[in-house]
Amino acid sequence: MTTVEAAPYTVEEVCERFDPVMGLEVHVELNTATKMFCGCRNEFGAEPNTNICPVCLGLPGALPRVNARAVESAVTIGLALNCSVRERSGFARKNYFYPDMPKNFQISQYEDPIVFDGYLDVPLDDGSTWRVEIERAHMEEDTGKSLHMGGATGRIHGADYSLLDYNRAGVPLIEIVTRPIVGAGTRAPEVARAYVSALRDVVKGLGVSDVRMDQGSMRCDANVSLMPKGSSTFGTRTETKNVNSLRSVERAVRYEMGRQAGVLLSGGTVRQETRHFDEQSGTTSPGRAKETLADYRYFPEPDLVPIEPSAEWVEGLRKELPERPWERRARIQSDWGLSDEELRDLVNADALDLVAATVDAGASSESARSWWVSYLAQQANTQGVALTELAITPEQVARVIALVSEGTLTNKLARQVVDGVLAGEGSPDDVVAGRGLAVVSDDSALTAAVDEALAAQPAVAEKIRAGKTKAAGAIVGAVMKATRGQADAARVNELVLERVGASS
Amino acid sequence: MSDITRSDVAHLARLARLAVTDDELDVFSGQLDAILDTVGRVSEIDDDVPPTSHVAPLTNVLRADEPEPSLDREAVLAGAPAAEEGRFRVPRILGEEP
Amino acid sequence: MSSADNGPGAEDLTRLDAAELARRVQAREVSSVEVTRAHLERIEAVERTGLNAFLHVAADAALAAAAAVDDEIAAGTVRGPLAGVPVAIKDNMITRDMPTTCASRILDGWRPPYDATVVRRLREAGLVPLGKTNLDEFAMGGSNENSAYGAVRNPWDPARVPGGSSGGSAAATAVGETPLALGSDTGGSIRQPGAFTGTVGVKPTYGTVSRYGLVAFSSSLDQIGPFGRTVLDAAMLHEVVGGHDPCDQTSIDAPLPPVVEAALAGARGDLAGVRVGVVNELSGEGFQTGVLSAFTDAVRVLTELGAEVVEVSCPSFTLGLPAYYLIAPSEASSNLARFDAMRYGLRVGDDGSRSTDEVMSATREAGFGAEVKRRIMIGTHALSAGSYDALYGKAQKVRTLVVRDFSAAFERCDVLVSPTVPTTAFPIGDRVDDPVSMYLADLCTIPANLAGIAGLSVPCGLAAEDGMPVGLQVMTPALADDRAYRVGAAYELARDTASGVPFASTVPDPAALQGAS
Ligand SMILES: [Mg+2]
Ligand SMILES: [Zn+2]
């Protein structure tokens, strides 16, 4: 059965009649060495079913054992999201049958998540911030992965059978749940994207997860509903599952807003259901209808005892928190004297960390910024890679800048040095030596070249002597050509004027 | 007190993945009803009492994040009802994950 | 050749207790291989009579393990106090070299890839595993009639049940198929069959014997414990398997109570200064007359040994049974969800047309017996959103009250006593269609599981009306298991001194009976 859905409205049209409400659930896979409840390795891309043991395979008799580092990471994430840490929290079993879950229950947390009641101030494109309130973040275990065989599509529907790999089963997950995000209006899709992006940055900065949406180590489910303008009663929501890129988060929310408005404005009702986002078309399609709310029969996990983080331990973790990305940005903006726009350009170009590292390696912020956002950005663009993937390190860029400021290189030469580094010719100093690129700063050599050029162009020399100092450009040009650009043009200019006896 | 019908039993059986027979629906509805009448007596007690889920006075029992050996895949798959390409083979999955 | 053919001159090794066998093996008066062979022969002879205590006998592996122990002893190494002594293992504990079925069709033929912690400890201590014993399917039952592989018979009367769920371990120990056995006790599953078969059975304090590798029935209640024909034997096995295990995060990181020392101290026959509480709620109406008189007699003996006996009241115990029959099925409904035909065990109906859900449902329907299905459905109901507060939630509150009652009672007493079971072993088939009456057999044993404390059952004679064994239950505070051993050993000595014959030697011999007929 196919349902033809009403053509989506634009968010502007939607917001003339409705206020959107969003709830975002983000699952972050921790990068611990081992799984949440057993000593199997937590690694992406291993041979199927090679990281399995009685515990994560749910064999009869096996018992879970909590990974201390996962608990620490959960608390760290909570602190970074301004959450409170629960004095006593525990695990619970969430019961449902599904073949990718070996025990047919997931060990999770229910009434007493380890951290709760926080917020994240999310930077938006226009430089303003949006505070997203965090309801809770809790620990749980991931499921295995299934491969659907037979049938035409390789998808779950129409498959003949499935093959299961339990390497991922039991990998530690932190599920971060927002409170309903209300009042964003037409900016709702942007807020959703910006939130997931900011969350990714924060978690990445903590070093507790790879937060790779493309590899599934960060996954987002987006709940969207509409309420008539002026109402404060939430409408029926849909949950769009596993939206796997920042762009998709924004598109999925936008599409759902438009689609739901279409349903409502044509007199229909929105069904509470799970939906799937299709990257190709940018649309969502219905999954399983949630006619009856799933009854997970939660109860306290009898095999695990409560966790009571001591205040000292929590404070210790709080002290070790890295500077939050937005605080760091504010500090950098004032240290470097950047305008809001300059800072935003830097962030949008994904160059902030690179520039900062270049500055840390001794460069001035102006030159570091200028290199990364112009010449290096162009090279990345030409090569079709991300700025961060260019084959040059911030330290190497800082070295190039130093060579320029000490006069060894001109800007033009410096670009050639960078080209050499990018081409794999070694460090900046290697390239300078290898290509013989150092500036000719020996005055006697330059003087000879100047004299030669003046002799070759007596008419120009005469003009200069007559006070038309601008004519010196032609002589400088000739000298630069003769030295293959390895002379300092300013110094050459001085020498020209000196030799013709003109005073500058 | 409790009143477990055939359709209640059918619902519970479906939740618990038990393909109970028609005869069982009759037998079980009677038995579950009798059992629930007996165990339902717990509702007599005061609501103010806190629940006990764990009797041993333990907290913060944690494991160091250090890898331990995993099982041999071939040995595990040999004990599986069906396996293919290093994976457990299972019948087609109809519903999505709830 | 069966041991019954040895004639009156040869000593029957299968009638010796474990402590004595260990002494002789370690003194090289007899080899572990000889001891093991005698028990294997005894198993063969007794199982032929239809006792059905064993689901799997590992004769070759046992003889090999025994030979290895003999070699070590010859070389001067003794792994532990019970080195060389045979032991039987309830078939809900995971064994790497033997099938583990939990007496269920759903695990038919499954060979686990690992050992339970207790099994590993048995091996490390040089005990010789003889095989796996029968039980109620997944330990759910009090009669052993729920085994998919047939009921176990009671050696005292083959028409009666041996109790359950550890009926196979109890019967095998009683009848000399093994001197020692492991059982598991969730609501009385060691103590109740101990009482029904005239053996000593102990449920240790929750968290003192690792559950790693025990196929979970009700995780917050399950505890592994020993069976022996004497209190000392049980204590010796207890010390082998007990103690902290990092693989079980509910395992208490504290020294095991000194149970062997306590059993030895008790056997000096003095209970002066020990305060014994008789729990009012665990005797009286509904209890079999012969059980009550045997119990009263036992309490009198304790007084004679110098104990100070008082009556205590634990009013919430009357709600223990309903609370237990909510908590245990609830946890079971979750624990048993993993038996789904996907990764191990039985798979039914996978003809290419059925979905996972259908195959799961068909397999679980075919693979589980009626009692298991009943409990799974009760548990599913008790945990569901609409019933949780009124059923599971209330049951957990009852648990708090039971804990409080015990705490109050233990302020006044060192140990509490009661009959282990309100009746003696009942005839096979009597209660199978009436689950509620079946559940009553756990009345006296359940409170200890709900509170996580220790309980021991020691035989206290026979009921006059049916000649079946009666058990005396001794309960102690958590981590004071040693007190139960002390009281049990003192009582045991007085009992045998009074009758002039070791109680354990009075069990009828099914093999001899069959030989005679
Ligand atoms: Mg979750
Ligand atoms: Zn594992």
Written as six digits, the tokens of A372 are 């990364």
Residues in chain C within 8 Å Cβ distance of B52: 396-397, 399-400, 403
> What is the pLDDT, as a whole number, of residue A289?
57
The yes-or-no verdict on residue B23 having pLDDT over 50 is yes
Among C100, C249, C352, the residue with its CB nearest the CB of A63 is C249
B19 is a domain residue: yes
B20 is a domain residue: yes
C8 is a domain residue: no
Closest alpha carbon to C461 in C314, C309, C222, C298: C298
C360 is a domain residue: no
> What is the pLDDT, as a whole number, of residue A7?
53
For A52-83, what is each residue's pLDDT tens digit?
999 999 999 999 999 999 999 999 999 999 99
The yes-or-no verdict on residue A504 having pLDDT over 70 is no
Q: Across the interface, do C374 and B13 touch by the CB < 8 Å criterion?
A: no
Q: Across the interface, do A53 and B95 touch by the CB < 8 Å criterion?
A: no
B87 is a domain residue: no
**Nearest chain A Cα to B71, which residue?**
A53
The residues pairing with A228 across neighbouring beta strands, listed in sequence order, are A18
CA dihedral A295→A297→A298→A303, nearest 10 degrees, is -150
> What is the pLDDT, as a whole number, of residue A154?
67
Closest ligand by atom to A65 CA: 2
> What is the pLDDT, as a whole number, of residue B96?
74
Closest approach of chain B CAs to the CA of A251, in angstroms? 23
A306 touches chain C (CB under 8 A): no
In chain A, the domains with their CATH numbers are 11-291 (no CATH), 323-435 (no CATH), 443-500 (1.10.10.410)
Closest approach of chain B CAs to the CA of A217, in angstroms? 18
Q: What CA–CA distance (Å, rounded) separates C98 from A143?
A: 30
Q: Across the interface, do C364 and B16 touch by the CB < 8 Å criterion?
A: yes
Kindly report the average pLDDT of chain A as a whole number.
91
Among B67, B69, B95, the residue with its CB nearest the CB of A33 is B67
Q: What CA–CA distance (Å, rounded) separates C470 from C460?
A: 6
B75 is a domain residue: no
Among C213, C330, C383, the residue with its CB nearest the CB of A61 is C213
Q: Please name the residues between 282 and 301 in chain A that touch chain C, using a CB distance below 8 Å.
A: 293, 295, 297-299
* Helix/strand/coil (H/E/C) assignment for every residue in B14-58: HHCCCCCCHHHHHHHHHHHHHHHHHHHHHHHCCCCCCCCCCCCCC
The yes-or-no verdict on residue A441 having pLDDT over 70 is no
By DSSP bridging, strand A18-29 and strand A218-228 are antiparallel
C neighbour chains, 3+ CB pairs within 8 Å: A, B
Q: Across the interface, do A32 and B65 touch by the CB < 8 Å criterion?
A: yes
Residues in chain B within 8 Å Cβ distance of A96: 98
Per-residue pLDDT 10s for chain C (517 aa) are 444 444 444 689 999 999 999 999 999 999 999 999 999 999 999 999 999 999 999 999 999 999 999 999 999 999 999 999 999 999 999 999 999 999 999 998 799 999 999 999 999 999 999 999 999 999 999 999 999 999 999 999 999 999 999 999 999 999 999 999 999 999 999 999 999 999 999 999 999 999 999 999 999 999 999 999 999 999 999 999 999 999 999 999 999 999 999 999 999 999 999 999 999 999 988 899 999 999 999 999 999 999 999 999 999 999 999 999 999 999 999 999 999 999 999 999 999 999 999 999 999 999 999 999 999 999 999 999 999 999 999 999 999 999 999 999 999 999 999 999 999 999 999 998 888 888 889 999 999 999 999 999 999 999 999 999 999 999 999 999 999 999 999 999 999 999 999 999 999 998 886 654 4
Average pLDDT over residues A216-224: 96
Closest approach of chain A CAs to the CA of B20, in angstroms? 17
> What is the value of ipTM here, to two decimals?
0.96
- Are A414 and A420 contacting, i.e. CB atoms less than 8 angstroms apart? no
B22 is a domain residue: yes
C24 is a domain residue: yes
Q: Please name the residues between 286 and 305 in chain A that touch chain B, using a CB distance below 8 Å.
A: 287-288, 294-296, 299-300, 302, 304-305
Q: Residue C33's domain is classified under what CATH number?
A: 3.90.1300.10
Average pLDDT over residues A104-120: 97
Substitution target in C377, C407, C442, C450 with the highest count of B β-carbons within 10 Å is C377
By DSSP bridging, strand C469-476 and strand C454-462 are antiparallel
> What is the pLDDT, as a whole number, of residue C31?
98
**Nearest chain A Cα to C383, which residue?**
A297
User: What's the number of CA atoms in the CB half-sphere (13 Å) around residue C491?
Assistant: 32
In sign, the C-alpha dihedral spanning C251, C330, C55, C14 is: positive
Closest approach of chain B CAs to the CA of A307, in angstroms? 5
B39 is a domain residue: yes
DSSP A37: S
C215 is a domain residue: yes
C3 is a domain residue: no
Q: Across the interface, do C334 and A59 touch by the CB < 8 Å criterion?
A: no
Catalytic site includes residue C189 = yes
Chains A, C: CB pairs < 8 Å: 99
> What is the pLDDT, as a whole number, of residue A281?
87
Average pLDDT over residues A248-262: 95
Catalytic site includes residue C90 = yes
Q: What CA–CA distance (Å, rounded) separates B85 from B82?
A: 11
CA C66 to chain CA centroid, nearest Å: 24
Q: Across the interface, do A69 and B65 touch by the CB < 8 Å criterion?
A: yes
Closest ligand by atom to A109 CA: 1
Q: What CA–CA distance (Å, rounded) separates C33 from C25?
A: 9
Among C102, C352, C360, the residue with its CB nearest the CB of A97 is C360
> What is the pLDDT, as a whole number, of residue C418?
98
Written as six digits, the tokens of A70 are 């996962």
C95 is a domain residue: yes
Average pLDDT over residues B57-81: 96
- Are A226 and A236 contacting, i.e. CB atoms less than 8 angstroms apart? no
C512 is a domain residue: no
Closest alpha carbon to C368 in B17, A128, A386: B17
Residues in chain C within 8 Å Cβ distance of B31: 374, 435
Percent of chain A beyond pLDDT 90? 66
Q: What CA–CA distance (Å, rounded) separates A354 from B46?
A: 63
Q: Across the interface, do B95 and A65 touch by the CB < 8 Å criterion?
A: no
A74 touches chain B (CB under 8 A): no
B33 is a domain residue: yes
> What is the pLDDT, as a whole number, of residue A1?
39
Range of the domain at B28: 6-44
Residues in chain A within 8 Å Cβ distance of C107: 60
Q: Across the interface, do A62 and C333 touch by the CB < 8 Å criterion?
A: no
B41 touches chain A (CB under 8 A): no
Closest ligand by atom to A34 CA: 2
Percent of chain A beyond pLDDT 70? 96
Please tell me the distance between residue B71's alpha carbon and the centre of ligand 2 in angstroms. Answer: 8
- For chain B, the domain total comes to 1
Catalytic site includes residue C505 = no
- For chain C, the domain total comes to 1
Residues in chain A within 8 Å Cβ distance of B91: 161-162
Range of the domain at C44: 15-318+399-504
Q: Across the interface, do C378 and B49 touch by the CB < 8 Å criterion?
A: no
**Nearest chain B Cα to C372, which residue?**
B18
> What is the pLDDT, as a whole number, of residue C515?
53
Q: Is C27 helix (H, G, I), strand (E, B) or coil?
A: coil
Residues in chain B within 8 Å Cβ distance of A48: 73, 85-87
Cα distances from B34 to residues A384, B12, C218, C323, in angstroms, run 72, 16, 22, 15
> What is the pLDDT, as a whole number, of residue A6?
45
Among B17, B86, B96, the residue with its CB nearest the CB of A48 is B86
Q: Across the interface, do C215 and A295 touch by the CB < 8 Å criterion?
A: no
Q: What CA–CA distance (Å, rounded) separates C499 from C494?
A: 9
Please tell me the distance between residue C473's alpha carbon and the centre of ligand 2 in angstroms. Answer: 40
Q: Count Cβ atoms within 10 A of the Cβ of residue C7 and give its class: 0-12 exposed, 13-18 middle, 19 or more buried.
A: exposed
Q: What CA–CA distance (Å, rounded) separates C172 from C234?
A: 14
* Choice among C165, C218, C283, C316 that is catalytic: C165
* Choice among C90, C147, C316, C330 that is catalytic: C90
By DSSP bridging, strand C128-133 and strand C200-203 are unpaired
**Nearest chain C Cα to B25, which residue?**
C374
DSSP C313-329: --GGGGGHHHHHHHHHH
The yes-or-no verdict on residue B40 having pLDDT over 60 is yes
Closest ligand by atom to A137 CA: 1
B74 is a domain residue: no
Kind plus residue range of the DSSP H or E element containing C295: helix C289-304
Q: Residue B23's domain is classified under what CATH number?
A: 1.10.20
By DSSP bridging, strand B87-91 and strand A299-300 are unpaired
